[in-house]
Amino acid sequence: MMIDKAHILVVDDDDRLRALLKKFLREQGFMVSEASDAAQARRRLAWFSFDAMVLDMMMPGETGAQMLASLGDTAPPTLMLSAMGEVEDRILGLEKGAEDYLVKPFEPKELVLRLATILRRSALAKELKKEPTQVTFGDYIFDMETAQLRLGAEPVALTSSESSLLKILAENAGKPVSREELSKQMPGGVSERSVDVQVTRLRKKIGDDGKTLHLQTVRGAGYVLYAGRAPL
């Protein structure tokens, strides 16, 4: 993630520090929003998506630590700020969900470097969690976003029903999907017999010859698409 595209929420009850951080972070290329307490921060979080949050640990009313703990997995990656530098305080901040902890007073440049590290880790984590958009079986490639099937670089024509069926199976590659479940997930709902017919047609289009089957029948469980090379 590029810094000049990152949106940071700064939450601190110290007006002077908040203004300084806002000014400095903007000079470094960040987009910045601010909040003076947890209540205002919650309103900001409800309306905007933030790439990271700089959060004061101790604020009047609901503390930063309490707010972060209540947000759980919905909180943006957070750099916790605090005037308390004891080991127990740092541990508390990290236990509540902070990615990093910085003791006041601090050098603004250090804050930027720590934020950059948090953003890189966050971007990597999102990339690792990203669902695959393509499933490969044998020499075939199915793009689940466009519902297009290719044999190498050549497109393979599929009907809308065949595309829908293949997409459901590709999303569950390696796991059997029952005929009943397939019939329910197909657009408009179809009979289980219709599912069998579509499977037969699809097998012909993906070159299954009865020896190496990419799309196999699992007795009592349904149909399964094997990604990679299908087992013999």
The residue length of the chain stands at 232
Q: What is the pLDDT of residue 12?
A: 95
CA distances for 199 relative to 22, 166, 182, 212, 229, angstroms: 59, 9, 11, 15, 19
Given a cut of 80, is residue 163 above it in pLDDT?
yes
pLDDT > 70: what percent of the chain? Answer: 91
Give all strands (DSSP E) within the chain, no chain letters: 7-11, 31-35, 52-56, 78-82, 100-103, 134-137, 140-143, 148-151, 154-156, 215-218, 222-225
- pLDDT value at position 221? 86
Cβ neighbors of 214 (< 8 A, separation 6 or more) are: 137, 138, 140, 206, 208, 225, 226, 230
Q: Which of 14-28, 114-128, 209-223 has the highest mean pLDDT?
A: 14-28
Question: pLDDT tens across 169-180, in order?
Answer: 888 888 889 989
pLDDT the model gives residue 85: 67
Whether pLDDT at 232 is above 50? no
Between 62 and 153, the more confident residue is 62
Average per-residue pLDDT in the chain?
Answer: 86
Is it true that the peptide bond before 105 is cis, omega within 30 degrees of 0?
A: yes
Strand partners, 135: 142
Give CA–CA dist 53/126, Å, rounded: 17
What pLDDT shows up at residue 144? Answer: 81
pLDDT at 181 over 60: yes
CB-CB neighbours of 67 under 10 Å: 25
DSSP state of 156: E
Indicate the pTM of the whole model: 0.56
Q: Which residue has the higher pLDDT, 194 or 94?
A: 194
pLDDT for 231 beyond 60: no
Which stretches within 28-136 are classed as H helix?
A: 38-47, 64-71, 87-95, 108-129
Query: What radius of gyration, in Å, describes the C-alpha atoms of the chain?
Result: 26
Question: Is residue 40 very low, low, confident or very high in pLDDT (cuts 50, 70, 90)?
Answer: very high
What 8-state DSSP symbol labels residue 59? Answer: -
In angstroms, rounded to a whole number, what is the distance separating the alpha carbons of residues 157 and 163?
9
CA–CA–CA angle 40, 46, 49 (5° rounding) = 110
Residue labelled with tokens 């999102």: 126
Domains of the chain, earliest start first? 3-129 (3.40.50.2300), 134-225 (1.10.10.10)
What is the model's pLDDT at position 34? 95
